[in-house]
């Protein structure tokens, strides 16, 4: 009885263990089989072996191979972008890679006909810029060879060049305000594929602290009833829409076009009027009161009357003591006889 119960428990435990381990076995099986197919790949010419883009392939020196921590090499550890249709910029960072391992990084650019030299670097954190001379290039292959003594694991990642192309900012931007509306225009971006206008979307920043305006395909934007008292600073960026092939990254922002507030002139006039008129009035007032102000500020120097002047110049003391009385005008009385009447 005790035994059978023990057996039952054991069997239950066994079944639970099987249930728990089953997914692990299954995953291991899938991983093993996928590893097997990838180990078959020939490494003579990476460009001859482009089977699947945007996928991390792993190849080991032996079945056991070098055990690299799963988290150490991940897709988020590296990236490649193509700028201005020809500048390839790749960067990587493997900070958690074991210290005693060696890392080699290879970049290959493949076109239909030619495989350009693969560039090799050995830094754990690094970047590399290449200028693509061949406009027909189709793929970029990044490879990381992690080596520990004689065992190695090589990771390969294949990009479709068109999918990593980051657009240049929109060009030929014009912005103006007419009839109260703000009108912005720009030209269709250029990319390697020369995609149709429908493939691009845009984001506008009007510098008005409002949300950015999202636009599909259109090459113009109109803001009706633009605020005339606002200075607009317009800039645009673009990216390829999800419907077409291209990077999901936005381009850099374009240069900024500044639209001065349209009422600036009016404002100036208002300011000058509101300040100017009182000033003019004040000036007039001052002019009118000028004389009086002058009199108050600079009172006239008192001058002796003319009669004292002559006396002072003569310096006649006797005269001073007994000043001669002013010659009184002699009154002349003329008697007019009324002769006419008597005559």
Ligand X SMILES: *[C@@H]1O[C@H](CO)[C@@H](O)[C@H](O)[C@H]1NC(C)=O
Based on the shown chain and the rule CB under 6 A, indicate whether residue 147 belongs to the binding site for ligand X. yes
In DSSP terms, 175 is beta-bridged to 184
The minimum distance between CB 66 and ligand X, in angstroms, equals: 10
Based on the shown chain and the rule CB under 6 A, indicate whether residue 85 belongs to the binding site for ligand X. no
DSSP code per residue over 161-215: GGGGEEPPPP-S-EEEEETTEEEEE------TT---GGGEEEEEE-SSSSPPEEE
Distance CA 79, CA 71 (A): 16
H/E segment holding residue 47: none
SS3 261: coil
Total site size for ligand X, rule CB under 6 A = 12
In the set 154, 158, 175, 240, which binds ligand X (CB under 6 A)? Answer: 154
* Residues from 281 through 340 that contact ligand X (CB under 6 A): none
In the chain the beta strands, taken as DSSP E runs, fall at: 56-60, 78-83, 87-93, 102-110, 119-121, 125-131, 139-148, 151-160, 165-166, 174-178, 181-185, 200-205, 213-216, 220-223, 232-240, 257-259
Based on the shown chain and the rule CB under 6 A, indicate whether residue 145 belongs to the binding site for ligand X. yes
Q: Is the dihedral of CA 24, 27, 31, 33 positive or negative?
A: positive
The minimum distance between CB 41 and ligand X, in angstroms, equals: 10
Of residues 15 and 255, the one with the C-beta less far from ligand X: 255
Q: How far is CA 143 from CA 109, 115, 124, 131, 308, in A?
A: 12, 15, 13, 19, 120
Site string for ligand X, 105-134 (x = CB under 6 A): ----------------------x-x-----
The minimum distance between CB 159 and ligand X, in angstroms, equals: 16
The minimum distance between CB 202 and ligand X, in angstroms, equals: 22
* Residues from 192 through 251 that contact ligand X (CB under 6 A): none
The minimum distance between CB 16 and ligand X, in angstroms, equals: 36
The minimum distance between CB 143 and ligand X, in angstroms, equals: 8
Based on the shown chain and the rule CB under 6 A, indicate whether residue 152 belongs to the binding site for ligand X. yes
Backbone angles phi, psi at 296, to 5 degrees: -70, -45
Torsion, CA 169, CA 170, CA 171, CA 176, rounded to 10: -120
The minimum distance between CB 98 and ligand X, in angstroms, equals: 6
Based on the shown chain and the rule CB under 6 A, indicate whether residue 139 belongs to the binding site for ligand X. no
Of residues 43 and 181, the one with the C-beta less far from ligand X: 43
Of residues 4 and 99, the one with the C-beta less far from ligand X: 99
* Residues from 54 through 83 that contact ligand X (CB under 6 A): 83
Q: Which residues bind ligand X (CB under 6 A)?
A: 43, 83, 89, 98-99, 104, 127, 129, 145, 147, 152, 154
């Amino acid at each position: 009885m005790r035994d059978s119960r023990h057996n039952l428990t054991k069997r239950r435990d066994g079944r639970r263990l099987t249930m728990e381990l089953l997914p692990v076995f299954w995953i291991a099986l899938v991983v093993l089989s996928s590893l097997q197919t990838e180990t078959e790949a020939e490494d003579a010419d990476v460009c001859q072996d482009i089977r699947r883009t945007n996928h991390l392939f792993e190849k080991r020196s032996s079945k056991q191979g070098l055990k690299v921590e799963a988290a150490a090499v991940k897709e988020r550890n590296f990236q490649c972008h193509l700028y201005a249709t020809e500048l390839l910029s790749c960067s990587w960072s493997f900070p958690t890679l074991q210290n005693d391992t060696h890392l080699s990084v290879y970049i290959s650019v493949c076109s239909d006909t030619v495989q350009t030299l693969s560039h090799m670097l050995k830094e754990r954190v690094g970047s590399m810029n290449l200028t693509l001379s061949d406009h027909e290039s189709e793929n970029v292959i990044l490879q990381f060879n992690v080596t520990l003594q004689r065992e190695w694991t090589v990771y390969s990642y294949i990009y479709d060049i068109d999918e990593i192309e980051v657009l240049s900012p929109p060009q030929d931007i014009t912005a103006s305000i007419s009839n109260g509306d703000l009108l912005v225009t720009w030209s269709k971006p250029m990319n390697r594929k020369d995609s149709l206008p429908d493939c691009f979307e845009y984001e506008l920043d009007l510098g008005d602290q409002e949300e950015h305006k999202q636009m599909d395909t259109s090459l113009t934007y109109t803001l009706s009833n633009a605020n005339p008292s606002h200075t607009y600073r317009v800039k645009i960026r673009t990216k390829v829409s999800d419907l077409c092939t291209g990077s999901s990254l936005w381009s850099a922002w374009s240069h900024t076009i500044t639209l001065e507030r349209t009422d600036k002139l009016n404002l100036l006039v208002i300011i000058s009027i509101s300040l100017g008129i009182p000033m003019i009035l004040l000036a007039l007032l001052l002019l009118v009161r000028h004389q009086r102000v002058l009199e108050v500020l600079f009172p006239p120097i008192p001058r002796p009357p003319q009669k004292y002047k002559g006396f002072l110049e003569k310096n006649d003391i006797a005269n001073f003591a007994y000043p001669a009385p002013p010659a009184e005008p002699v009154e002349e009385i003329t008697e007019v006889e009324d002769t006419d009447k008597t005559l």
